[in-house]
Amino acid sequence: MKRFSSKVAIVTGGGSGIGKEVAQRLVAEGASVVISGRDAAKLEKAAAQIDPTGKHVRFLAADIAKPATAQALVELARAEFGGVDILINNAGVFNPKPFLELDEQEYDGFVDIILKGKFFMAQAAAKAMQQRGGGAIVQTGSLWALQAIGATPSAAYSAANAGVHALTRNLAIELASSNIRINTVAPAVVETPVYSTFMDSEQVKAVLPTFNAFHPLGRNGQPGDVAEAILFMASEQASWITGTVLPVDGGVTAGRI
């Protein structure tokens, strides 16, 4: 039997990178998924790749920073697939910038998308999960919330993700009696399209390989590396794990080479 047979999952930030990889693997293992992001064309293309039959995937283009988006995603999952069992709270944004140069609008962007977005998405999903007798939430946090990296100054991004990590522990306690587990993965450098949001393709090709050596295992992460950890946390194999933040980082948090 497939690990996620007849399960219904919402995957935020599901149009590319880690989110898309997770959605694809969930469908392959028997789940139906609703993916979200801000770009409808990108989501439509991703949905066709995730499930060419179209039977087990739906998408919604909207701003995750708005609590109404979380509610709309839950309602779509209910209407199309009957409810919500799993939330992959993955949507985020990354753009290194020195602390002394960051303005209020940029700060708000990090906090709204990363922390506020995950907070209200988890809230909406948890209410739906209570009606199904429980569920699992897995969030994407960040290594940058566990330690500061001088090469990529990210004070606001890191602070927002530290909030996500704290949210994980608080919700684990509050939702345990509803049989809802919540865990977070904290990746290091993963080669996803997020880097193209602040570098052109030539810069990405030049810069990303320089981070291979930053990881004790000698390479940057791939979406599949993080997706496997997320799927484990979402599955019944992790039924006695809640409130954890798992570094998926090629050994970075262990120490320096």
* Mean predicted confidence (pLDDT) in 119-128: 98
DSSP states along 200-222: -HHHHHHHGGGGGGGSTTSS-B-
CATH number, domain at 121?
3.40.50.720
Active site residues: 157
> Is the pLDDT assigned to residue 182 strictly greater than 70?
yes
Confidence bin at 1 (pLDDT 50/70/90): confident
Q: Can you read off the two tokens belonging to residue 223? A: 């979406």
pLDDT > 90 fraction of the chain, expressed in percent and rounded = 89
Domain contains 255: no
d(Cα 208, Cα 212) in Å, to the nearest integer?
Answer: 7
Domain contains 205: no
> Is the pLDDT assigned to residue 163 strictly greater than 80?
yes
d(Cα 82, Cα 6) in Å, to the nearest integer?
Answer: 10
Confidence bin at 196 (pLDDT 50/70/90): low
> Is the pLDDT assigned to residue 257 strictly greater than 90?
no
Domain contains 118: yes
Domain contains 42: yes
- The string of pLDDT tens digits covering residues 213-247 is 899 999 999 999 999 999 999 999 999 999 999 99
> Is the pLDDT assigned to residue 199 strictly greater than 70?
no
Domain contains 253: no
Q: List the beta bridge partners of residue 58.
A: 34
d(Cα 25, Cα 28) in Å, to the nearest integer?
Answer: 5
Q: Residue 153: which domain range?
A: 8-194+223-248
Give pLDDT, residue 203: 78
Structural domains in the chain (count): 1
Give pLDDT, residue 59: 98
Domain contains 13: yes
Give pLDDT, residue 169: 98
